[in-house]
Amino acid sequence: MILVTGAGGKTGQAVLEALTAKSEAVRALVRYQEQIPSAGRRGAEEVVVADLLNPVEMSVAMAGVRAVYLIAPNMHPEEARIGELAIAAAREAGVQRIVFHSVLHPQTREMPHHWQKLAVEERLFESGLGFTILQPAAYMQNVLPYWKEIVEDGVYRVPYGESAALSLVDLKDVAEVAAGVLTSSVHNGATYELAGPQALSPGQMAGLLSKQLKREVRFEAIPLITWAEEARAGGLGGYALDSLTKMFGYYNRHGLVGNSRVLEGLLRRPPRTFLRFVERVPSSQDSRFGN
Ligand SMILES: NC(=O)c1ccc[n+]([C@@H]2O[C@H](COP(=O)([O-])OP(=O)(O)OC[C@H]3O[C@@H](n4cnc5c(N)ncnc54)[C@H](OP(=O)(O)O)[C@@H]3O)[C@@H](O)[C@H]2O)c1
């Protein structure tokens, strides 16, 4: 049995589907009862409702599990503690191996959600457990919340500029690698950077969107301060707002670029391109689309 945490979220759902395609028995860990049916539809044999911050619930979730795919919640102030609790619960339950869903360049101190993942990586090294670390770049799927504006207004508005090249990776490729790594023992002790095949600036992304959608899509940089004000007005606050602001500022100054050769080696084929991803997005889509 393989436990997938964060299974109600974007990454977890993609990993559930990839594992199901390999006919693996999977237990999905979700946060709320209402997320049970969706995990079942994605092929989870068992679904457990648990709070990643609750050690007792984590022990129950890990009972009888061979391997864990550890996905931490997005922009959570206690991400490092969640990792530590999961590692402790895994040790107690006799889990053989954790595959940790980290991030490209976790060494980046300026981005708190990267830095917290580095702390979890360190705890894994010391855990005595078998482990593999995956470090995905930003997903191509992150464009989906902007889709309505792209299609209806022909504008791709993000709070960073043309200097922000990102090695966007298709979440479908990441999930395929995750499933491969979880079902083979040869990856024990490895850390894999999973970067997509092109480092794209937002203007280049807008160009590719124009090409695929057969309509002009222009890129517009929103000032970061305007974005933060809008996000605050929309109810975002605290650690998430602070981390996202720092992330967009970092992207603006440095981009986030990796190398796709490791991903290509693991997939044994070229990684999916952004254009190929855009081809798959249905014309009317909801922002949860991830395939
Ligand atoms: N997006 C990217 O480009 C990217 C790239 C590399 C790495 N990552 C990393 O991937 C991870 C997952 O991201 P994602 O976009 O898939 O996130 P997501 O869609 O928000 O999924 C996270 C899931 O965790 C659940 N959750 C939150 N707090 C919880 C708790 N205390 N106990 C149990 N479950 C809890 C959430 O529940 P609710 O649904 O109720 O909120 C959600 O279902 C993050 O660590 C992120 O940093 C993301």
> Which residue among 5, 31, 142, 263 is best mutated to probe the pocket of ligand 1, counting the most ligand atoms within 8 A of its Cβ?
31
Which residue owns the Cα nearest ligand 1 atom 37?
Answer: 31
| CA–centroid distance, residue 6 to ligand 1 (Å) | 6
Q: What is the pLDDT of residues 79-131, one digit of tens each?
A: 999 999 999 999 999 999 999 999 999 999 999 999 999 999 999 999 999 99
CA–CA separation, 290 and 58 (whole Å):
27
For residue 52 and ligand 1, the question of a CB distance below 6 A is answered with yes
Cα Rg of the chain (Å, integer): 19
Which residue owns the Cα nearest ligand 1 atom 47?
Answer: 74
Give ∠ CA 262-266-271 in degrees, rounded to 5: 75
Q: What's the pLDDT at 185? A: 87
For residue 113 and ligand 1, the question of a CB distance below 6 A is answered with yes
> Percent of the chain, pLDDT > 70?
97
- Give the number of other Cβ atoms within 10 Å of residue 56's Cβ: 10
- Give the number of other Cβ atoms within 10 Å of residue 182's Cβ: 23
Q: Does residue 291 register a pLDDT over 50?
A: no
Q: What's the pLDDT at 284? A: 59
For residue 72 and ligand 1, the question of a CB distance below 6 A is answered with yes
- The number of CA neighbours under 13 Å toward the Cβ of 89 is 27
Q: Which residue has the tokens 């708190």?
A: 112
| CA–centroid distance, residue 242 to ligand 1 (Å) | 17
For residue 74 and ligand 1, the question of a CB distance below 6 A is answered with yes
Q: What is the pLDDT of residues 175-215, one digit of tens each?
A: 999 999 999 989 999 999 999 999 999 999 999 999 999 99
Q: Please state the rounded mean pLDDT for residues 20-43.
A: 96
Which residue owns the Cα nearest ligand 1 atom 44?
Answer: 74
Q: Does residue 137 register a pLDDT over 90?
A: yes
Q: Please state the rounded mean pLDDT for residues 233-242.
A: 96
Q: What's the pLDDT at 282? A: 80
Burial class of 107 by CB neighbour count within 10 A (0 to 12, 13 to 18, 19+): exposed
For residue 83 and ligand 1, the question of a CB distance below 6 A is answered with no
